[in-house]
Amino acid sequence: MLKSKQEYVASLRDGRTVFWAGEHIEDITEHPRFKTPIEVALSDYDYDNPHKRPILTYKTDEGVSAHRVYQIPRSEEDLLNRLELMRNMSIVGGVTGVFMALMSIVDELRKVRPDFAENIERMYRFARNGDLRAAEVITDAKGDRSRKAHEQDDPDLYLRIVERRKDGIVVRGAKLHITAAALVHELVVMPTKSMTAEEADYAVAFSIPANAPGVKIINRSFAQPQLNEFDYPASAHHSMPEGFVIFDDVFVPWERVFLAGEWKLAGAFAGSLGLWERTGGVLDAVETSQIMVGLAQLVSEQQGKGKKPEALNGIAELIAYAETLRMSLEHACRNFETTPSGMVHPNILAINVAKYHFANNFHQAVKILHDLAGGLVLTLPEEADLNSNEAGPYLRKYLHAVKGTETETRMRVYNAIRDLTADAYGGWKQVVALQAGGGLLAQRVMMHRAFDMNAAKAKALKVAGVTPQ
């Protein structure tokens, strides 16, 4: 059953334990800090909108309408529909895509633990039928990076099973940076990395309601509660908190457990998420890189340097960056892959290469934009000054550049550049480009795994004149 917007808001009043800036927030739906994030989440429940409904929904095999985030792609068309959905969906819907990751490992899991594979399928149906949202709860605190989970000074630095009971398991630990944790219904927990036999208690995966006893969510965001649209054109409508999620001896019934000590499968769980996470990252990268081209062109034209070689060269670099990303995404979809049970997903190598290209070059792209735009990126006065009888005329006089460009338009372009690349949201985006969906190392590892190295070696040997034995 699809939820209405009112039902979603009501569902958040469930006694979940949420903190922000030292305050224990009893009802997030009434708190100013959650106003924008809840509006963002509500955009995925916009089923009454005739333009969005066909994008947001699909008919299940049972003929019932459900959110398309739950549609398992079975063909290229399904995959393209999913991408269209991702372009039109909020980050809360985006992270609910964690169920695609779970469903993609069911085949492998079934060989070892058919009961856990069944748990995944049941939880998937439960979440789909209830039109629930879920968070991707993977990244552990991790402590000393040079030591394994069981070697840490504090054994809870990776989330672990502390008790096995007849009716379920008890887990303790913390998961960090969890996008939208306070705004979802289910926390889908998975191991952050492969585990060894000694780390078996850390090889744990499950789904638990956000209001389960012992779950505590400490929030952080780049955005202040209220930002005005003129000065913050991107972030005024876009903020979403990340959660520092604590599992303080949380009981998980067996029917919600997906992994409990089968350490050889921990890596498969961790890896399954990366693909869909990075696909979302690349979609966003295509959009962001095209916007950067547009901003660079506008800011250069508005200063009368649009045809100068410095601007043309910089903008050409940005075009190459944007087009490579767009073509990579297209290639990843055209050359899709299929799991044994028929789930279609983007090409793993192409998505990892694209995400790597995006993250590895993003800061350089921002540099080009900042170089072209100049100091006003940081020092432009605010909307209130433009509207002031005393200060406004000075802004109109001294921000005049190329004939025909309105001061207000110029200011809006600068505000977009600052908000997207140089202010709190811009800073957040720079770290997100690198770390969200895993750091550069995570993509390097996947590129090594997916690339056809034997074919490359054979070509190199042929050129070197070495005959294969």
Ligand X SMILES: Cc1cc2nc3c(=O)[nH]c(=O)nc-3n(C[C@H](O)[C@H](O)[C@H](O)COP(=O)(O)OP(=O)(O)OC[C@H]3O[C@@H](n4cnc5c(N)ncnc54)[C@H](O)[C@@H]3O)c2cc1C
User: Which residues contact ligand X (rule: CB under 6 A)?
Assistant: 95, 136-139, 142, 145-146, 177-179, 242, 431-432, 435-436, 438-441
Min CB(159)–ligand X separation in Å: 11
Q: Record the tokens describing residue 313, joined without a space.
A: 């060269």
Min CB(181)–ligand X separation in Å: 8
With respect to ligand X, which residue has the nearer C-beta, 107 or 287? Answer: 287
With respect to ligand X, which residue has the nearer C-beta, 73 or 241? Answer: 241
With respect to ligand X, which residue has the nearer C-beta, 125 or 148? Answer: 148
Min CB(264)–ligand X separation in Å: 21
Tell me 209's DSSP state.
E
With respect to ligand X, which residue has the nearer C-beta, 348 or 372? Answer: 348
Query: How far apart (Å, rounded) are the C-alpha atoms in residues 105 and 265?
Result: 9
Q: What is the total residue count of the chain? A: 469
Min CB(142)–ligand X separation in Å: 5
Q: Are 172 and 208 contacting, i.e. CB atoms less than 8 angstroms apart?
A: no
With respect to ligand X, which residue has the nearer C-beta, 57 or 352? Answer: 352
Amino acid at 83: L
Min CB(434)–ligand X separation in Å: 7
Residue 397 CB-density burial (10 A; 0-12 exposed, 13-18 middle, 19+ buried): exposed
**Three-class DSSP category at 115:** helix
Min CB(422)–ligand X separation in Å: 17
Min CB(283)–ligand X separation in Å: 16
Min CB(168)–ligand X separation in Å: 23
Min CB(103)–ligand X separation in Å: 18
Distance from CA of residue 389 to its chain's centroid? 43
Instruction: Give the other-Cβ count within 10 Å of 128's Cβ.
Output: 20
Could you list the beta-strand ranges (E) of 321-442.
337-338, 344-345
Could you list the beta-strand ranges (E) of 153-234.
160-164, 168-179, 186-189, 204-209, 215-220
With respect to ligand X, which residue has the nearer C-beta, 360 or 435? Answer: 435
Q: What is the chain's alpha carbon radius of gyration, rounded to the nearest angstrom?
A: 24
**Three-class DSSP category at 420:** helix
Q: Record the tokens describing residue 63, joined without a space.
A: 């003929």
With respect to ligand X, which residue has the nearer C-beta, 279 or 302? Answer: 279
DSSP symbols for 251-272 = EEEGGGEEEES-GGGHHHHHHH
With respect to ligand X, which residue has the nearer C-beta, 97 or 314? Answer: 97
With respect to ligand X, which residue has the nearer C-beta, 1 or 440? Answer: 440
Q: Which of 121, 130, 125 is nearest to 45 (CA)?
A: 130
Query: How far apart (Å, rounded) are the C-alpha atoms in residues 282 and 360?
Result: 13
What CA–CA distances, in Å, run from 21 to 43, 180, 225, 244?
26, 16, 12, 12
